[in-house]
Structure 1
Amino acid sequence: MSAGIGTARGAALCVGAVLGPGVLVLPAMAVRVAGPASLLAWAALLCVSAQIATSFAALGTRYPDSGGVAAFTRRAFGHRAAAVVGCWLFAAVPAGVVAGAIAGARYTAAALHASARPALVFAAVLLALVYLANLVGLRLSARLQLVLTGVLVGLLVAVVVVAGPRVSLDRITPFAPHGVAGIGSAVAVLFVAICGWEVTANLSAEFTDPRQVRRAAMVSLAIIVVLYTGLAWCTVGVLGGEAGDTMVPLMRLLAPTGRPWAAVVVAVAAVLFTVAASVTFVAAGARAGVSLARHHVLPARLAVTRDGEPRRGVAVQAAAATLVAVAAAAAPRLITVETLMRTFAALLACVTLVGLAAAARLLPTPRQRVNAALAALTVAAVAALSGPFLLAPAAVAIAAGTRRRRTPPPDPPPPRGGSEAGRDAASTLHPRPTAMAARPR
């Protein structure tokens, strides 16, 4: 498939990836561990999000490649590090997508006053929609994402407008009932809220013009900062400590209004948040799988694409998500939404950390390198707060290293007959700086 994403669709994909289903539950989870001081965690992470977004946008503009962070890591640190990073992303997607589907299904079930069993059906339907959207191709899903993102932004604005007048400063006291440790825990929980910038790097090669990567990132960053700030303030100022007692905080924000459409709006928002974010993550994960297969980290059959679309990668991601969903349904007390999101956050924190380290080494200007290095230090601290959830990236790293030792990569084959698939494989195996990269900055 030739590159065909413009600034508007790219921004929609970025917003959809970052402003994902986590927004349905993360504000409540943060209040539960930090109280109103979770606002400090939000402020810190939004500042870090700006650094991450600008660093990955600069990398995507200079080195557009469907391998994303793994491709940047390969340029900076070699094949072994790239294999580990690619596997982290590939393993993170099923956990994150299933967590989002369960969260979205809970909202839908609550709006319809349904029991737990229909909620499982809703989750299965949401997962099916996500993977079907990716099977039809990125171009169509990008158009769909543009529409979904517009609706989502409108819905969140509506929530903030309706809840904003009911904000009370009395609800922000005591401000930090759990102390500094609680704020640290909230940072680790909320990191999921800024995950997604590293995923959009996998789509950098799909843009019509590499310069549009930066434009799309900046537009989406402005939207995300405004919406997250409004939502965090309303959650604390309207619900206070009660926010930590509910898994449907958006519904609680709208419920006291007495408007009959409130529950329906929140249910629709839950579905759209889940689909919008998950479509981008699955697309990035499938493309990471293709790159890993071409470098002999995953089975070679996964590298086969049809019309430029990694449908086999999507199918493997769907199978993995199904296994995670079945395990979560069988052991709901052990495999909770919070457990899946924290695992997802730990994996993506490691991906982001290595990607920022690559940016600090590859970007051309001192200002860009310092920005990336500072962001990397912050993300390293956040990753350390993940505690036992770091066992997930450690296990994936060991498995990736074992796979590479068993099957060392041979010399890359030449492009096959000048076909698009051959050219894409060659560019992934031997990524070369683009004209933009060669131009002095």
Structure 2
Amino acid sequence: MAETPAPATGRLTVAQGTALYVGAVLGTGVIALPALAAEAAGPASLFAWLLLVIVSAPLAATFAALGSRYPDAGGVSTYARMAFGTPAAAVVGWCFYFAVPPGAAAAALFGGAYVEAAVGGGGTTVAITALLLMVVVTTTNFFGVRLAGRVQLALAGILVTFLLVAVLLSLPHASTGNLQPFAPHGWTAIGPAAALLVWSFVGWEAITHLTAEFRRPARDLPRATAAAVVVVGVLYLAVAFAVVAVLGSAAAEADAPLGELFAVALGGDARWPAAATALLLTFGAMNAYYAGAAKLGAALGRDGALPAWLARGSVAGEVPRHSLAVNAGLSFLALLVVLVAAVGPRPLVLLTTGSFVTVYAVGVAAALRLLPRRSRTWYAAVATVGAVIFLLVMTGVYLVWPLIVTGAALLYLRLTGNRASRTGAPASAPNEVADGGVWTRTAQVGRTDIR
């Protein structure tokens, strides 16, 4: 069965796509999670990092395969529609779209905490920094994904340099004694440590909503994904090892482990380099997710899963400003609620993780149905099934939130008379035909027909 390539209407290059991936996945996890994982499992937490790096490779390959074959702003929502129909598409689309605002608020608060550590000012500094981060990210995406990609490319280069400086200059202070005892809480503690690190590896699905923005999705997306897997894996393992081997038992007590590494590497007060790194990490993650969510919202409006006035911008090259405005408004609202309630970012992190794990589960299930059986990419999807089940189990009670979102999405479809069935959006995956029919796609509307 032959497949016609999608038109090359996008503008993102491989380098820009890699930078967006690195920003989405590396994100804020590297700011605090090496210390939290060390607290849970000691030096044995390095195995948890290695496990998730290994698991992320086939997971990233799975979403890259789907994105390169079916480039569309709907991302995982589009794959779910093709595999399972309109209700599944609406559910997974809502889970992603409405997870970004609380996730963005949490990320902004993480960045604000590092700035507060550098300049002081307490909660006021944290709140102002978080607010400014949201404003800058929204403004960047207002001018389109091409600008967002260029900004991300520049930031990724600076970020990688900062992290490598912290690691390389601190490693001469590493001690093998800090690796003993290697598993102070037993080998079973690696499981809870890995559960903590899930936040660090969420993001491979985010760029699926930007696949149609690549110049040549079938060629460029797999290359960008492979490069990002290597960069993210090396940086995570390097930072995690440095935190454990250099800081030793103090790693488990460090609120800002990157700041401690910079202090060892550069000597003296390193709060400013740590704050700068934290801001770069935070901006990179927020920039990638804002871009992806804005495109997704436009696709959901186009397909009938959200109001139609959001649909503008779903075509490659267009800027989804209506969807971006809604996403930004909800993010500001989430930040305001957390600041007024004074509950901190932890609830936001857990709600966001639960939603994205649900997106992963549906995306992998769709891949098993859509990708050619017994192909390398299909086997990659098979390899991720166990990992997704593990993530679902570890998420536990926080799966209640995506269940609530699921109910809301299905209720919306019912109240609107399932408008998706009248918009031209495909209701299910096309069936294979025995005479070797050809798949044709229209990237602008995300439609897949068989002729």
Provide the TM-score with structure 1 as the length reference: 0.90
Q: What is the alpha-carbon distance in structure 2 between the residues aligned to residue 172 and residue 340 of structure 1? A: 33
Q: How does 1:155-166 map to 2 (within 5 A)?
A: 155-166=162-173
Aligned residue in 1 for 2:434: none
Aligned residue in 1 for 2:385: 376
Give 1:234 deviation, angstroms: 0.9
Give 1:170 deviation, angstroms: 2.2
Task: Tell which deviates more after alignment, 203-212 or 180-189.
Answer: 180-189
Residue pair 1:14, 1:220 contacting (<8 A) in 2 also: yes
SS at match of 2:98: helix
Query: 1:330 and 2:340 equivalent?
Result: yes
Query: 1:431 and 2:448 equivalent?
Result: yes
Give 1:374 deviation, angstroms: 2.0
Aligned residue in 1 for 2:248: 240
Aligned residue in 1 for 2:436: none
Q: What is the alpha-carbon distance in structure 2 between the residues aligned to residue 344 and residue 376 of structure 1? A: 21
Q: Which letter does structure 1 place at the counterpart of 2:34?
A: P
Q: What is the alpha-carbon distance in structure 1 between the residues aligned to residue 423 and residue 394 of structure 2? A: 43
Task: Tell which deviates more after alignment, 43-52 or 90-99.
Answer: 90-99
Q: 2:410 aligns with which of 396, 401, 405?
A: 401
Residue pair 2:355, 2:399 contacting (<8 A) in 1 also: yes
Give 1:257 deviation, angstroms: 4.3
Task: Give a deviation string over 1:290-316, Cα, whole Å, max 9, x none.
Answer: 122222222222213397111111111
Q: What is the alpha-carbon distance in structure 1 between the residues aligned to residue 269 and residue 11 of structure 2? A: 38
Give 1:286 deviation, angstroms: 1.3
Q: How does 1:226-305 map to 2 (within 5 A)?
A: 226-257=234-265, 259=267, 262-305=270-313
SS at match of 1:228: helix
Residue pair 1:294, 1:425 contacting (<8 A) in 2 also: no
**1:139 to 1:242, Cα distance in 2 relative to 1, 3 A:** same
Q: Which letter does structure 1 place at the counterpart of 2:334?
A: V
Q: 2:195 aligns with which of 188, 196, 217?
A: 188
Q: Which letter does structure 2 place at the counterpart of 1:221?
A: V
Q: What is the alpha-carbon distance in structure 1 between the residues aligned to residue 348 and residue 258 of structure 2? A: 20
Task: Give a deviation string over 1:401-426, Cα, whole Å, max 9, x none.
Answer: 111122212554579xxxxxxx9896
**1:257 to 1:377, Cα distance in 2 relative to 1, 3 A:** closer
Q: What is the alpha-carbon distance in structure 2 between the residues aligned to residue 55 and residue 221 of structure 1? A: 12
Aligned residue in 1 for 2:150: 143
Residue pair 2:64, 2:208 contacting (<8 A) in 1 also: yes
Aligned length: 424
Q: 1:175 aligns with which of 160, 163, 182?
A: 182
Give 1:321 deviation, angstroms: 0.9
Residue pair 2:303, 2:423 contacting (<8 A) in 1 also: no
Residue pair 1:255, 1:262 contacting (<8 A) in 2 also: yes
SS at match of 1:431: strand
Q: What is the alpha-carbon distance in structure 2 between the residues aligned to residue 392 and residue 246 of structure 1? A: 31
Aligned residue in 2 for 1:420: none
Task: Give a deviation string over 1:20-69, Cα, whole Å, max 9, x none.
Answer: 12211121222233332221211110011101111111111111111111
Aligned residue in 1 for 2:36: 29
Give 1:343 deviation, angstroms: 2.2
Give 1:7 deviation, angstroms: 0.7
Identity %: 38
Q: What is the alpha-carbon distance in structure 2 between the residues aligned to residue 365 and residue 339 of structure 1? A: 40
**1:180 to 1:323, Cα distance in 2 relative to 1, 3 A:** farther
Task: Tell which deviates more after alignment, 183-192 or 211-220.
Answer: 183-192
CA RMSD of aligned residues (A): 2.3
Aligned residue in 1 for 2:208: 201
Task: Give a deviation string over 1:87-144, Cα, whole Å, max 9, x none.
Answer: 1110111122111111111111112244232121111111111111111211111111
**1:101 to 1:432, Cα distance in 2 relative to 1, 3 A:** farther
Identify unmatched segments of 5+ residues in structure 2. Answer: 1-7, 426-440
Aligned residue in 2 for 1:73: 80
Residue pair 2:10, 2:215 contacting (<8 A) in 1 also: yes
SS at match of 1:247: coil
Q: What is the alpha-carbon distance in structure 2 between the residues aligned to residue 181 and residue 84 of structure 1? A: 35
Give 1:265 deviation, angstroms: 1.7
Q: How does 1:215-230 map to 2 (within 5 A)?
A: 215-230=223-238
SS at match of 1:102: helix
Q: Which letter does structure 2 place at the counterpart of 1:361?
A: R
SS at match of 1:386: helix
Aligned residue in 1 for 2:325: 315
Q: 1:116 aligns with which of 118, 123, 128?
A: 123
Task: Tell which deviates more after alignment, 170-179 or 214-223.
Answer: 170-179
**1:270 to 1:424, Cα distance in 2 relative to 1, 3 A:** farther
Q: Which letter does structure 1 place at the counterpart of 2:412?
A: R
Aligned residue in 2 for 1:418: none
**1:279 to 1:41, Cα distance in 2 relative to 1, 3 A:** same
Task: Tell which deviates more after alignment, 34-43 or 305-314.
Answer: 305-314
Q: How does 1:333-372 map to 2 (within 5 A)?
A: 334=343, 336-366=344-374, 367-372=376-381
Residue pair 1:57, 1:217 contacting (<8 A) in 2 also: yes
Give 1:231 deviation, angstroms: 0.6
SS at match of 2:445: helix
Q: What is the alpha-carbon distance in structure 1 between the residues aligned to residue 379 and residue 83 of structure 2? A: 16
Residue pair 2:23, 2:285 contacting (<8 A) in 1 also: yes
Provide the TM-score with structure 2 as the length reference: 0.88
Residue pair 1:188, 1:383 contacting (<8 A) in 2 also: no
Residue pair 1:65, 1:431 contacting (<8 A) in 2 also: no
**1:240 to 1:379, Cα distance in 2 relative to 1, 3 A:** farther
